[in-house]
Structure 1
């Protein structure tokens, strides 16, 4: 249970309820961070619009590489919700989620390419406190993906740091997205997701 309660649909305004329905249609359930953020209506809508805008803007970097860097960031911060959701996104995109079991040993694992190792190292360097990003790391990525690609990668890693730290600080934990099992938000534990669809 999160440290701040999720806003139940019956306690939400019309626009938040509509956003909940759209989220449920899109990912099968209302994501708990979404429902917790609804406690602050203006930030709820600002965050929602921002996420949609970022999703539409990203087009240079390979999606699988971005998702891997975002996953590593969530794993490093320790956000079980983000790790869970990241597994679902990768599974839905047809990516090999089994290799995520080897993320701790990415340097030695055959499951990762050199390009993926560079992205993971960059995610680690950006997520470290203080950051440890080097000129050489950025130059390597620029050679491979150009300025626009590196801005995308950097933005996505920075955004995941914000998401993961928000969720982790508020005690929001995995919801069952990654396992493919029924996932419920706290207000709706009595009714299976399939019955509500």
Structure 2
């Protein structure tokens, strides 16, 4: 792992309760994801966070998978989280089968690859991620043109989760893992 801080625990020191997750990550990604080493210091909190994102990413989620991945990636860019940009960019590519949306995400307002609904959601994510949050009446109106209240509630939870995750990882300088060819590149 590049840029590993000396205080990062080795995999051998992760609690037994995380072994199933470690095995799943090694199988799916070929290695353990960098944040697992930090979250592993507090396994109960880690599992609570994992359950939260697992619910938001469930098969019967109110938001379609590509939109969820776009929102996660955009928040990651706004928070300048190298790991999250990388991992969530991979999610976008896996879900839409192309890199065009990942490559255009920094300029989503003018890029032609995004639908009106995606633009409304991305505007909302940007507004939520601003400090302090800045959700204008225009953003709210545009959002309500494409999403119902239940979808907006779930979108709000997803964006809030990604802010937690990206800010946690960015503060600890958790590095990218090279999961997505364009994942580590951002102009944000």
Question: What TM-score do you get using the length of structure 2 for normalisation?
Answer: 0.84
- Mapped to 1, the partners of 2:62 and 2:91 lie a distance apart of 18
Whether contact under 8 Å (1:70, 1:156) holds in the other structure is yes
Deviation at 1:51, TM superposition (A): 2.6
Q: How many residues align?
A: 180
After superposition, the Cα gap between the structure-2 partners of 1:45 and 1:6, relative to the gap in structure 1 and judged at 3 Å, is farther
1:32 aligned to 2:13?
no
Whether contact under 8 Å (1:81, 1:174) holds in the other structure is yes
Whether contact under 8 Å (2:81, 2:167) holds in the other structure is yes
RMSD between superposed Cα atoms in Å: 2.2
- Mapped to 2, the partners of 1:25 and 1:146 lie a distance apart of 37
- Mapped to 2, the partners of 1:79 and 1:86 lie a distance apart of 10
Select the residue among 12, 22, 25 that pairs with 1:10: 12
SS at match of 2:110: coil
Question: What TM-score do you get using the length of structure 1 for normalisation?
Answer: 0.81
Structure-2 residue corresponding to 1:124 = 126
Q: Which structure has the greater CA radius of gyration?
A: 1
Structure 2 gap segments, 5+ residues each: 183-188
- Mapped to 1, the partners of 2:83 and 2:124 lie a distance apart of 22
Structure 1 gap segments, 5+ residues each: 181-197
Structure-1 residue corresponding to 2:25 = 23
Structure-1 residue corresponding to 2:79 = 77
